[in-house]
Amino acid sequence: MKEKLLPLAKKHGTPLFILDHNKIKENYRIFKKHLPQVQCYYAVKANSHPEIIKTLFHEGSSFDVASYNEFMQIYKYLKHFEEKDQEFFIWDKIIFSNTIKDRETLRKLKRYRPLVTYDNRDELKKIREHGDTAGLVLRLKVSDTGSQVEMSSKFGAEPGEANHLIRQAFDAGLVVEGLSFHVGSQCTNCDNYTAALAITSDIFHDARKKGFHLKIVDIGGGFPVPYDVQVPKFETLAKIINAECQRLFPEDIEIIAEPGRFMVATAAMLLAEIIGKARREGKIFYYINDGVYHTFSGVVYDHWHPNFTSFGRGKKEVCAVVGPTCDSFDKISLSVQLPGNLTIGDYLYTENVGAYSIASSTKFNGFDGAKIIHIGR
Ligand SMILES: Cc1ncc(COP(=O)(O)O)c(C=O)c1O
Q: Are residues 339 and 193 in the same domain?
A: no
Q: Give the residues surrounding ligand 1 with Cβ less than 6 Å away.
A: 43, 45-46, 64, 97, 182, 185, 220-223, 258-262
Known catalytic membership, residue 319:
no
Q: Are residues 317 and 337 in the same domain?
A: yes
CA distance 335 to 320: 5
Confidence of residue 106 (pLDDT cuts 50, 70, 90): very high
Domain boundary (224, 248, 265) is at 265
Question: Rounded to an integer, what is the distance from CA 53 to the centroid of its chain?
Answer: 13
Q: 332: part of which helix (H) or strand (E)?
A: strand 331-339
CATH code of the domain covering residue 358: 2.40.37.10
Q: Taking all residues of the chain, what is their mean pLDDT, rounded to a whole number?
A: 96
Domain boundary (212, 235, 265) is at 265
Return the ligand 1 atom nearest residue 186 CA.
Answer: 10
Q: Are residues 308 and 189 in the same domain?
A: no
When pLDDT is averaged across residues 279-292 and rounded to a whole number, the result is: 98
Which residue puts its alpha carbon closest to atom 12 of ligand 1?
Answer: 221
Q: Are residues 84 and 9 in the same domain?
A: no
Encode pLDDT of 212-235 as tens digits. 999 999 999 999 999 999 999 999
Domain of residue 334: give its range.
2-17+267-375
Return the ligand 1 atom nearest residue 356 CA.
Answer: 9
**Torsion-angle region of 211 (φ positive above 0: left; ψ -120 to 50: alpha; else: beta):** left
Domain boundary (208, 236, 265) is at 265
pLDDT score recorded for residue 20:
98
Encode pLDDT of 122-143 as tens digits. 999 999 999 999 999 999 999 9
- For the chain, what is the domain count? 2
pLDDT score recorded for residue 371:
98
Q: Are residues 95 and 233 in the same domain?
A: yes
138 DSSP 8-state letter: E
Q: Are residues 128 and 47 in the same domain?
A: yes
pLDDT score recorded for residue 86:
81
CA distance 258 to 249: 19
Confidence of residue 312 (pLDDT cuts 50, 70, 90): confident
Residue 49 pairs in a beta bridge with none
Q: pTM of the prediction?
A: 0.96
CA distance 180 to 355: 22
CA distance 118 to 174: 12
Q: Are 192 and 156 in contact (CB under 8 A)?
A: no
CATH code of the domain covering residue 150: 3.20.20.10
CA distance 270 to 19: 9
CA of 221 to the centre of ligand 1 (A): 5
